Amino acid sequence: MLVTPSVAQQVSLSPAAKSQEDKMASQTLVEQFRQDIGNVSSTVDERQLRQKSHDFHWYSPVLTPQLQNCLADVVVQPRSEEEIAAVVVAAVKHRIPLTVRGGGTGNYGQSVPLKGGVLVDMTGFNKVTAVESGSIRVQAGAVIGAALEAALASGQQLMMYPSTMRSATIGGYLGGGFAGIGSVRHGIIRDSGMIQSVRIMTIEEPPRILTLCGDDVGFVFHSWGTTGIILEAQLKLVPAEKWIDCIATFPTYGDVIAFGNAAFDSDLDIFLLSAVERRFGPFYKRLHKYFDGSRDAMFSMVKESDVDRYFALATTFNGHRSMAVSDTQSAAANLRRIHETAFNHTTLMALQVDRSWTYLQVVMPNPYEPKLAEEQMRRFGDEVLMHHEYTKEKGRCRIGGLPLIRYTTEQRLNEIMRSFEADGCMLNNPHIFKLEDGGRFDPEGRKMAFRASVDPMKLLNPGKLRSLS
Ligand SMILES: Cc1cc2nc3c(=O)[nH]c(=O)nc-3n(C[C@H](O)[C@H](O)[C@H](O)COP(=O)(O)OP(=O)(O)OC[C@H]3O[C@@H](n4cnc5c(N)ncnc54)[C@H](O)[C@@H]3O)c2cc1C
């Protein structure tokens, strides 16, 4: 018996509150869906449903209990545009939610299927389609590291990538990311000019394929998969440089920040500028020889020809040259690569040692005075460890703090957030799973209007947009 769309719509696919009757109805629905998608790879295996329904939201002790029971009803892994279209058509026919997933490295449950339904694992759709002079075309499920390798083979490189580039996908980075290694040189994703165009599929019968260029690429950027399925992206490439992994250490964290501010304003060619205080030392086991916890540090990737000038500048802020290694030297010595110590990998290294840490995302006031960093360290004591990433936004320095927080209660976490805000910092709260709550989302309403035009039945990642819940 075919379940009609109106009946299907009434069936709660959320695992939490399924009655036996609901369960049977949704199982029937899922079976019909699987028949309709024909040869597209799919599974209802419990272990795989659980694995693919979760991302890195376990970073947050606030999100973990809220999301841990969310489960997809079926996972599909399409390998071509035709297969993605077959999934869309069947989901539209049965009005089943669709949640798109890349590498599942998002930290706020962006790809957790809040209302069950179909989890679309894009990692089977993963070809580098073309590498040209100045640009690369990549299918959305391609791992970013693979795109970087393809670019490097042509003497070019990506403008930026997340520290998760070995497991995160292009589609996931555009849909859920914000900045990364390279953002101090080229800016955050949004205003870097990195995304030249994207092809997306709409959620309707029949699905349309749209190509977005210029400002319109912003419709899919950081939209958590609610504004169409990204199929392919064309990204700008720049000439490849030889980057050297550098560590400079300093007697105080204020010195690290003062040096970072000066390095940002200098003409040094720098691809990463990541400040970490000494109490992170015990978490950096494979770099212990160079960062042993006795001094605060700046972790950087610096153009080979600028390395000596970089350390000369550090000296003027009481800095010491601690490490400067090429890719080959780093691999030969089995060192942790610098890009895997930065952004949220810093947090990950701490969590791998002690799960009672969590973190915040804070934009520091501009200019960021070293004395404020030191005052905050005094105020919070052992409850907060400092880590800052230098990036660029509209040509200006943007310092993002990713402090580690010793978690006690949600109330105390909120108090710490308010304390940062009182200093003029802007919070991008990572302990939320509603898109609008994370910061400024779509203030002019253009994105929401676009969303309605590409997903009129509101099937994409339902529950993530407060305004649609
Ligand atoms: C250790 C660690 C370090 C990190 N470092 C960084 C960093 O340096 N910079 C940064 O910006 N982020 C960082 N993040 C967050 C995350 O890794 C990145 O945003 C990453 O690029 C997400 O890619 P993914 O393939 O894992 O996406 P997923 O987590 O699978 O998905 C992210 C979002 O994008 C949507 N999505 C996925 N594919 C598509 C598609 N084809 N079409 C439409 N929507 C889609 C999903 O629905 C979801 O909402 C880090 C996270 C961790 C855990």
- For residues 159-187, one letter each, b for 16 or more C-beta atoms within 10 angstroms of the residue's C-beta and e for the rest, the string is bbbbbbbbebbbbbbbbbbbbbbbbbbbb
Rounded to the nearest angstrom, the distance between the alpha carbon of 167 and the centre of ligand 1 is 9
Dig out the tokens for 259 from the structure.
Answer: 């040096």
Residues of the chain with pLDDT under 50: 1-13, 15-17
Beta-carbon contacts of 427 under 8 Å, excluding residues fewer than 6 positions away, are 360, 361, 362, 363, 417, 420, 421
CA distances to 69, 309, 350, 407 from 356, in Å: 21, 40, 9, 6
Strand partners, 359: 404
Q: Enumerate the H helices of 193-249 as residue ranges.
A: none
- Our mutation pick for probing the ligand 1 site, out of 56, 84, 88, 105, counting the most ligand atoms within 8 A of Cβ, is 105
What is d(CA 451, CA 462) in angstroms, rounded to the nearest whole number?
12
Quick one: pLDDT at residue 468?
A: 82
How high is the pLDDT of residue 7? 31
Q: Which protein residues touch ligand 1 with a CB less than 6 Å away?
A: 55-56, 99-107, 110-111, 122, 140, 162-164, 168-169, 171-173, 175-180, 224-225, 229-230, 343-345, 348, 461
Instruction: List C-alpha distances in Å: 166 to 147, 183, 296, 443.
Output: 10, 18, 28, 33
Measured between alpha carbons, how far is 134 from 111 in angstroms, rounded to an integer?
31
Q: Give the whole-angstrom CA distance, residue 313 versus residue 402.
A: 25
Of 100, 143, 188, the residue with max ligand 1 atoms within 8 A of its CB, to mutate for a pocket test, comes to 100
Rounded Cα–Cα distance for residues 383 and 377 (Å)? 9
Atom 27, ligand 1: which residue's CA is nearest? 172
Residue nearest to atom 39 of ligand 1 (CA): 171
Q: What percent of the chain has pLDDT over 70?
A: 95
The pLDDT tens digits of the residues spanning 31-40 come to 999 999 999 9
What is the reported pLDDT for 2? 28
CA distance 357 to 352: 10
Closest CA to 249 of 293, 285, 211: 293
Distance in angstroms (rounded) separating the CA atoms of residues 191 and 38: 41
Task: Give the pLDDT of residue 18.
Answer: 59
Residue 171 alpha carbon to ligand 1 centre in Å: 8
DSSP-derived pairing of the beta strands 243-250 and 195-201 = unpaired
Q: 137 Cβ partners below 8 Å, 6+ apart? A: 128, 129, 130, 131, 232, 233, 234, 235
Nearest CA-CA partner of 457 in 156, 92, 116: 92
Distances (CA, A) of 353 to 154, 244, 279, 296: 39, 28, 13, 20
Antiparallel, parallel or unpaired: β 426-427 and 362-363: antiparallel
What whole-number distance in Å separates Cα of residue 147 and Cα of residue 129?
10
